[in-house]
């Protein structure tokens, strides 16, 4: 029987990494599994660190998307308002 230290320091095989990447390709399942791998007790240290880094990168990407998306939407709304104000039809 393996101890917790042995599980934390075990090497992850290429097959396990391929399965990991396939799981992270499934929407919603990827987020759940990243949290399980990040904060689960029986996950090897390398996979745990990778999952934490992936969650951080995803959070940064979502924040950047929200900022740029709101900027783009505000530009569209400004141009739409300007067209309505200066259009002879209205």
Condensed to tens digits (0 to 9), the pLDDT of residues 38-54 reads 998 889 999 999 999 99
Give the model's pLDDT for residue 2. Answer: 58
By the 10 Å C-beta count (0-12 exposed, 13-18 middle, 19+ buried), 46 is classed as: middle
Count of domains forming the chain: 1
CA atoms of 64 and 30, how far apart (whole Å): 20
Condensed to tens digits (0 to 9), the pLDDT of residues 58-90 reads 999 999 999 999 998 888 776 766 666 665 665
Contact status, residue 86 vs residue 78, Cβ threshold 8 Å = no
Q: What is the mean pLDDT of the chain?
A: 86
CA atoms of 60 and 55, how far apart (whole Å): 9
Tokens representing residue 86 in the block: 């200066």
- Per the structure, the complete domain to which residue 27 belongs is given by 4-86
pTM of the model: 0.75
Confidence category of residue 8, pLDDT binned at 50, 70, 90:
low
């Amino acid at each position: 029987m393996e101890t917790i230290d042995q599980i934390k320091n075990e090497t992850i095989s290429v097959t396990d990494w391929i399965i990991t990447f396939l799981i992270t390709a499934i929407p919603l399942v990827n987020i759940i599994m990243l949290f399980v791998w990040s904060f689960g007790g029986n996950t090897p240290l390398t996979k745990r660190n990778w999952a934490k880094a992936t969650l951080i990168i995803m959070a940064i990407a979502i924040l950047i998307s929200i900022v740029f998306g709101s900027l783009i939407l505000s530009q569209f709304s400004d141009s739409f308002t300007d067209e309505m104000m200066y259009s002879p039809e209205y």
